[in-house]
Amino acid sequence: MNGKVFAIIARKGAGKSEFIKNTILRPWGFRKSYIYDRNCEYGKEFKNSFTELNTKENFLNVVSREASHTGANCNVIFEEATSYIRMAGQQDSRLVEQLTLTHHTGNIVAFVFHSMLVIPKDLRPNIDFWVIFQTMDDVEEVKRFYKGRKDILDAYLDVHKKTKGTSFDRDKKIYADEKSRLFWHYNRVIAP
């Protein structure tokens, strides 16, 4: 799975980090991993090659310096990706490198978002896998935003329908009911 870009979209507590751990970091853990881990969600379980002061600027500099060359073959995890992305205007060239050069770098890059509505249109063609969990987005806004992308919209609507009315207590790790147990972490993966 070298050279792929993931967009992982979910509300807090829906399973984004667990998806990354199980789909990217565990099976591809033999590679260097650079994780912008603002909330210490990956702990000591995964070696993070990003060891500088945990700031967005430092992370972009380290990834650009150490994981942007041909054959880098790294895992690059942009937690809280919304803080990196601009909806209008020029994207940071270090970020664009990670999106557009994955075929050459061999990197697996994951951008983690809390909303479907913050992914700029000009970046979407570079996403290989859309991982859609439940979000707090307004359904009508998502329909307008993704008009013309039936695959993504259909997946979002399916997830929304199945997860509506579910809940999970993150602190106690308790589901509200059987439907919540079955569907709180439900997601769809789209590979356009």
pLDDT of residue 89: 64
Residue with more model confidence, 94 or 90? 94
With H, G, I as helix, E, B as strand and everything else as coil, classify residue 133. coil
Give pTM, 2 decimals: 0.92
The average pLDDT across 135-152 equals 96
Angle, alpha carbons 107-41-10 (nearest 5°): 75
Residue with more model confidence, 39 or 8? 8
Which two tokens mark 112? Answer: 């983690």
CA dihedral 135, 139, 141, 143 (to 10 degrees): 110
- Categorize the per-residue pLDDT at 91 as very low, low, confident or very high, splitting at 50, 70 and 90: confident
99 phi, psi to nearest 5 deg:
-75, -40
Distance (Å, whole) CA 75 – CA 18: 15
With H, G, I as helix, E, B as strand and everything else as coil, classify residue 183. helix
pLDDT of 162-178, one tens digit each? Answer: 999 999 998 899 999 99
pLDDT of residue 87: 57
Assess contact for 133 and 18: CB atoms under 8 A: no
Element spanning 111, H or E:
strand 108-113
pLDDT of 116-142, one tens digit each? Answer: 999 988 889 999 999 999 999 999 999
Q: Which of 91, 159, 105 is nearest to 130 (CA)?
A: 159
**Residue 106 predicted with pLDDT over 90:** yes
CATH architecture of the domain formed by 4-135 = 3-Layer(aba) Sandwich (3.40)
Distance (Å, whole) CA 192 – CA 188: 12
**Residue 183 predicted with pLDDT over 80:** yes
Crossing angle, helix 93-100 and helix 56-66, to 10 degrees?
50
